[in-house]
Structure 1
Amino acid sequence: MSQQSQALAFSELHQKHNPVILYNVWDAGSALAVEQAGAKAIATGSWSCAAAQGYQDGETMSFSSLLQTVQRIAAVISLPLTVDFETGYGANRRDNLSALLQAGVVGINVEDQQMGLSALNDIREQSEILKSLRQVADSQGSTLFINARTDVFLQQPDATQHPALMAEAKKRLTAYQDAGVSGFFAPGLSDLTLIAELCDVSALPVNIMANSLTPPLAGLTDAGISRLSYGPYPYIGLMEALKQQARALY
């Protein structure tokens, strides 16, 4: 399947009330395992990719290291590949995206936090970033699936405060849609009523990240999500199992 065909196929997987499930990977081996388990697409997680190489999340791993990981994954899988691009890995985000496209990537996540700070980019600034990334994809003839992530909810761990954040999330949803993105990602949001409200107002596919507080898949599906991802949790779970196995030996 050509890269363009994979891009279209990946986009079509995002269906309201029938979400695509992305069990995030971190290297070629984990990608192959998830593909062989029956996945319809492969997605990296920035936390996992960094941790697997001994780095902290938050672009402490160099883009060249990420690119090498992505290239190895792309070389061994046959499924569409989407990559967690964080904030773009520095001022060269346009060139970095070009490199990912050349590696065969058909989707990216782009977040609106200010890296290393507990603050978000201004909506206008983030919209300009998203527009520039869409321009790069268009210039290469790619129908890249740009999944615009907002950290509005993730930066507020107290879920009782999330209803008051919905207005800000909706503003960002509208602005990012106008900037030409393909989907809207709201990690940290776990209240089913709020998730359904966001899905109801969104013309874009809504992505939720599973965690210990997230409702079961059936409820999320009824709420209208189009994508469910697992972020760092597959890696965390497997590393904990590895430690337990090693501990039993030592």
Structure 2
Amino acid sequence: MTVFHDLHHADVPLLLPNAWDHASAAGLAARGFAAIGTTSLGVAAAAGLPDGAAATRELTVQLARQLGRGMYLLSVDAEDGFGQDPDDVAELACELADAGAAGINLEDGLGSARLHAAKIAAVKAAVPGLFVNARTDTHWLGDGGHSETCRRLDAYQQAGADGVFVPGLSDPARIAELVKTLDVPLNILYSPLGPTVAHLGDLGVCRVSLGSLLYRRALGAALDTAAGIRAGRPPHGALPTYVEVQALSGEGPGGRRPGP
């Protein structure tokens, strides 16, 4: 077991915020987050590319190389592995692990469960220590049926997934029911209208991801600030100074972790 694995078996859920560049990751680390994920939407949108279209493989690897040696554990959102060949996905996983990633998030996009299981198995064979968080999109792209969700998650954990992820599921009763069927940690996407992190922990959830929430909130704040200033209103909310942002690129909290 690795340190990242252990965080999924603590007394409280692992709250995983998702960054999209060095500054956002370093800032989160400076606030005390020991593990940070990436957001595929943030990476894609920042480059003017679509999310979920296998368009950001190289950008994802490049970001992992920037963040993978930071003072935090890194999990990389790799969409569906940016390909349909399990061997190619395993090669990607090796690149991410070499960059310093502790985990990878792979989504099925509601495609073939058998193919997704094959990707998971290939990754675990190539990089056994990499935490594979296997996501099913039954609630985002399907009808959210319990039986289909269970069928897919069972296939993924049988293939070697270290954890499973069901974004879009927020009903407490259904979450508790799903936890009972699993042998690996369950990851739930935080919803501002759903259960709190503490409540999710009580339900048996081991990991709570923020997904693209922080990126979208940051973008919204920027747009509101610009429109407010144009309308004569002063900006509100947290405003890091120039010096504080500059410091995120240096040593210290959120900077570079010591070499081996």
TM-score by length of 1: 0.86
Distance 1:150 1:41 in 2: 22
Question: Which segment is superposed worse, 230-239 or 85-94?
Answer: 85-94
Instruction: Determine if contact 2:43/2:56 at 8 Å carries over to the other structure.
Output: no
Question: Take 2:43 and 2:115, find their aligned partners in 1: how far apart are those partners?
Answer: 27
Indicate the RMSD between aligned Cα atoms, in angstroms.
Answer: 1.6
Q: Does 1:112 align with 2:108?
A: yes
More deviation in 188-197 or 17-26?
Answer: 17-26
1:227-238 pair list within 5 angstroms: 227-238=207-218
For residue 57 of structure 1, report the CA deviation from its aligned partner: 0.8
- Pick from 65, 69, 89: which aligns with 1:93? 89
Between the aligned partners of 1:17 and 1:207, the Cα distance in structure 2 is: 15
Asked whether 1:12 is paired with 2:2, we answer no
Q: Which portions of structure 1, spanning 4 or more consecutive aligned residues, are displaced by more than 4 angstroms?
A: none
What letter matches 1:151 in structure 2?
D
**Match for residue 58 of structure 1 among 49, 52, 74:** 52
Q: 1:125 deviation in Å?
A: 2.0
In structure 2, the gaps of 5 or more residues are: 231-260
C-alpha deviation, 1:232, in angstroms: 0.6
**Which structure has greater helix proportion?**
1
Specify the alignment match of 1:74 in structure 2. Answer: 68
The separation in 1 between residues aligned to 2:16 and 2:191, in whole angstroms, is 13
Name the TM-score, length of structure 2 as normaliser: 0.83
Partners of 2:19 and 2:37 within 8 A in 1? yes
- For 1:1-250, list aligned pairs within 5 A: 8-15=2-9, 18-75=12-69, 77-90=70-83, 91=85, 92-113=88-109, 120-138=110-128, 143-156=129-142, 162=144, 165-250=145-230
Identity of aligned residues (%): 35
Q: Distance in 2 between matches of 1:61 and 1:249?
A: 35
Q: What is the deviation of 1:97?
A: 1.6
Cα pair distance change 1:61/1:125, threshold 3 Å: closer
Q: Which runs of 5+ in 1 are unaligned?
A: 1-6, 114-119
Report the Cα offset of residue 101 of structure 1: 1.2
Report what 1:3 is aligned to: none
Larger Rg over CA atoms: 2
Shift of 1:52: 2.0
Paired residues, what number? Answer: 227
Question: Partner letter of residue 36 of structure 1?
Answer: A
Decide which moves more: 56-65 or 21-30.
Answer: 56-65
2:217 and 2:191 map into 1 onto residues whose CA distance is: 12
